[in-house]
Structure 1
Amino acid sequence: MDLEEILTRGVAEIITKEELLEKLRSGRTLRLKMGFDPSKPNLHIGHYVGLRKIRQLQDLGHTVVLIVGDWTAQIGDPSGRDESRTMLDPETVRANADTYMQQFFRVVDRSRTEVRWQSEWFGKFTLADVFNLTSRFTLGQMMAHETFRKRYEQGLPLSLMELLYPLLQAYDSIAVEADVEFGGTDQKFNILAGRELQRMLGKEPQNVFLVPLLVGLDGRKMSKTFNNTIDLVDPPEEMYGKIMSMGDDVIIEYFILTTDVPMAEIEEMEREMKAGRVNPRDLKMRLARELITQLYDAEAARKAEEEFVRVFQRRELPSEMPQFRLTEPKNIVDLLVEAGLAASKSEARRLIQQGGVKLNEEVISDIEATIALTEPAVLRVGKRRFVQLVP
């Protein structure tokens, strides 16, 4: 992929592109900053969009600087949220960070990455440092942040601690001497704050590199709340099934943002799909193979496709599934939770009431049903979750 395509394909905005091009052509090694707050344990395919970009520039010889937001994660980025986050304890943040980095380095080259923890500099911050930092920005500037402004106008809680978040992220750029900072479009305010702080302190301002926010499988915002994410740790079979369940209207966007399929080929796919000359199912299968090959390998993609065809096209059972020993009669709600097919009893009841629970392909509609076995059986929830029950 040439430099022009790196700076245009799947890119929402660069501030400024001319400055960045000049830096890239200068011959010096740039410091490419990307931060993450380990507030949850898993990265999803939306994060993958930005990770691919920094990997592409890393392959040109530049250094990735990964900021582990062990301080800001305890606050939680308020961007796009209409309520305050619950503060996390340091142990949870550290555990999440460990899993994040394992996933991060499935995409980015570890040998050319500098990992920095915010506690390196914020652990030494004094009250005088806080005063010095906060004095450089006004309340008016903070209220230009769309999330802050909306919450204030709606009379919703907005803590002073949350107002500090963009300033702390901005100071990260000072601490690591960032040349470019990457993020989604929802990070524009915070990254621009870093650029402005560098200018105030007489440093060369970082460039802002923004990538689009990838929508979830159902076309809404990608979020665990909506159960519409593809996590980087999803097994290949599950990843394949999720991609096949996505809406047809997001196929092209996923090809552009998450694969290396040439743009000319993607544009042809779009024309063929609009004309009705290609089945969207076939494009999803291609997309699934591309993504799984990138995140695992071609053999994993082949096996995942075989499994999908067996289970969803031939209506056969999966070749492998977890087992749960049922030695005595058990209420179906309790069974779903204990077998790991529902996260809670309320979710189990909802699944049953929606007709999503089957035992040996017979729908179970009664939340009071008792399940007893004399021989092995298959308990199924939705299209992709199976457990073999054994007496």
Structure 2
Amino acid sequence: MAQKLSVDEQLALIKENLQETLNQEIIEEVLKKGEPLKIYWGTATTGRPHCGYFVPGLKLAQFLQAGCHVKVLLADVHGFLDNLKAPIELVKHRAEYYRFVIIALLKAVNVPVDRLEFVLGSSYQLTPEYTMDLFRLSTVVTEHDAKKAGAEVVKQVENAFLSGLIYPLMQALDEEYLKVDCQFGGVDQRKIFALAKEVLPRIGFKERAHLMNPMVPGLQGGKMSASDPDSKIDLLDTPDAVRKKLKKAVCAPKEVEGNGVLSFIEYVLLPASTLKYGTPKFVIPRRDAESLEYTGIKKMQEDYAADILKPQDLKPAVTEALIALLEPIQKDFEGSAEWKDIETKAYPPPPPPPKKEKKKKDKGSFYPKKVEAKPDGHVEGPDKDKVDVGTDGGAEAIKKLGLEDK
């Protein structure tokens, strides 16, 4: 299929749904030569991949459909550097888990993965050559520029670690070491892309093109985040869990801007239907009226703004479409002992909470804790002097109290 596409068709497919493209002429030049465009997308292998990964995943699918050679950088070292989110050993297990997820995701929309290549960051980022080039790059990038470049990507904390400054330099240098024509990522990566474009030529490496996806709102209206359980749906969530989470999704009537449910249709469900069936199509059944059928997002947004399409019809339709999209991925997971094993290693269950220690009851300061009573009435032990009344049965002690005079 890819060989039948003209340069214009390839370019249209590559740019579909993107927010911005830098140095498009580099892409056009490669395509005009009849060579496969080499693109890389990097993902720091930290939290569990959620449904937000469908957005870049489906763009990778379109790149493959356009005849591109796609390299996925499983950025284990980046995951370690990003505020030390996880130990490097755990991040490597997660990289393997991500590989399983991405392959299953692409297979779910009928995309062949023969031009898909996975590269583990630590396989070349720990070499002497890479380290020396990173040192060279550090001589032409200021602390201010490195911090600014990573501001929207690296977790920002007060008194930040140097690792957060190294992160964007490595992402720029990866373009050279992966031997690609362009890098793909979210628009939140723009400052890193701009840094790469500016500084790589300063150390003798060529400039690359950059392709940027828009930031798609999560189900709660903000960014889809692994740290917010209601904002994200895990790729292995059960149908019941998917229904429960989408029921909570923010989907205000007539509001199109920032609507995560509509955005999910635009960037995931419509492109997925095109890849699976050759044409974009989304059907919304309605209880008391005829079903609505859409082949593009614009008409859907217009109908939603006009209240022709209502949240109570939209959300169930999206729910069932997502469950259907997740089904083959979950089937692959259930059928793979290797994938299950790596999931346990990558995301081990948290240790059980420590058992609550029983508090010893305080029986008072006069309670004989460390004494032993003898048959004649006296006691022995470390606390003897506190409780001993002597062998006279306490007669002497009573006398000292002066009770006999009363």
Q: Name the TM tier (shorter chain).
A: 0.5 to 0.7
Asked if the contact 1:70–1:119 (Cα under 8 Å) also holds between the matched residues in 2, the reply is: yes
Return the alpha-carbon distance in structure 1 between the equivalents of residues 72 and 141 of structure 2: 25
Determine which of 258, 278, 302 is the counterpart of 2:309. 278
Please give the secondary structure, in 2, of the residue aligned with 1:6. Answer: helix
In the TM superposition, what is the alpha-carbon distance from 1:8 to its structure 2 partner? 4.8
Shift of 1:194: 3.2
- Shift of residue 211 of structure 1? 0.7
1:91 paired to 2:98: no
1:256 aligns with 2:266: yes
Distance in structure 2 (CA, Å) of the matches to 1:235 and 1:103: 16
RMSD: 3.3
Alignment of 1:133-212 (within 5 A): 133-145=137-149, 147=151, 156-212=158-214
1:213 aligned residue? 215
The aligned amino acid for 2:100 is Q
Residues 291 and 206 (structure 1 numbering): CA distance in 2 closer, same or farther, change over 3 Å? Answer: farther
State the one-letter code of the partner of 1:162.
Answer: G
Aligned mates of 2:133, 2:66 — CA distance in 1? 37
Shift of 1:271: 2.1
- Alignment-mate amino acid for residue 6 of structure 1: L
**How far 1:132 sits from its partner (Å)?**
1.6
Match of 2:299 in 1: 268
Amino acid at match of 2:263: E
How far residue 198 of structure 1 moved from its aligned partner, in angstroms, is: 4.0
Structure 2 equivalent of residue 123 of structure 1: 126
Letter matched to residue 58 of structure 1: L
TM-superposed deviation, 1:86: 3.1
SS at match of 1:105: helix
Distance 2:299 2:85 in 1: 48
Output the amino acid matched with 1:138: T
Distance 2:314 2:76 in 1: 40
- How many residues end up aligned between the 2 structures? 293
Counterpart residue number, 1:6: 13
TM-score (norm 2): 0.63
Match of 2:323 among 292, 317, 321: 292
* Structure-2 change in CA distance of 1:131 and 1:275 (3 Å): closer
- Equivalences for residues 1-391 of structure 1 within 5 A: 3=10, 6-40=13-47, 42-76=48-82, 85-86=83-84, 88-108=86-106, 109-125=112-128, 128-145=132-149, 147=151, 156-227=158-229, 228-248=231-251, 249-260=259-270, 261=280, 265-296=296-327
Deviation at 1:92, TM superposition (A): 0.6
1:230 maps to a residue whose letter is I
Aligned-residue offset at 1:26? 3.2
Report the CA distance shift for 1:268/1:234 in structure 2 as closer, same or farther (over 3 A): same
Amino acid in the other structure paired with 2:140? R
Q: What SS is found at the alignment partner of 2:105?
A: coil
Report if aligned partners of 1:75, 1:165 keep a CA contact under 8 Å in 2. Answer: yes
Q: Deviations over 1:314-365 (max 9, x none)?
A: xxxxxxxxxxxxxxxxxxxxxxxxxx9xx989xxxxxxxxxxxxxxxxxxxx
CA drift at 1:29: 1.0
Q: Distance in 2 between matches of 1:202 and 1:129?
A: 10
**Per-residue Cα deviation, 1:28-49 (whole angstroms, up to 9, x for no partner):** 0121101111122x21222221
Task: Return the index of the structure with the highest Cα Rg.
Answer: 2
- For 2:198, give the aligned amino acid: E
**Partners of 1:146 and 1:35 in 2: CA distance:** 15
Q: 1:11 to 1:120 in 2, by over 3 A?
A: same
Q: Is the 8 A contact 1:31 1:63 kept in 2?
A: yes
Structure 1 length-normalised TM: 0.66
In the alignment, structure 2 segments of 5+ residues that lack a partner are 107-111, 252-258, 271-279, 282-293, 332-348, 355-406
Change (3 A) 1:57 1:116: same
Percent identity between the two aligned chains: 22
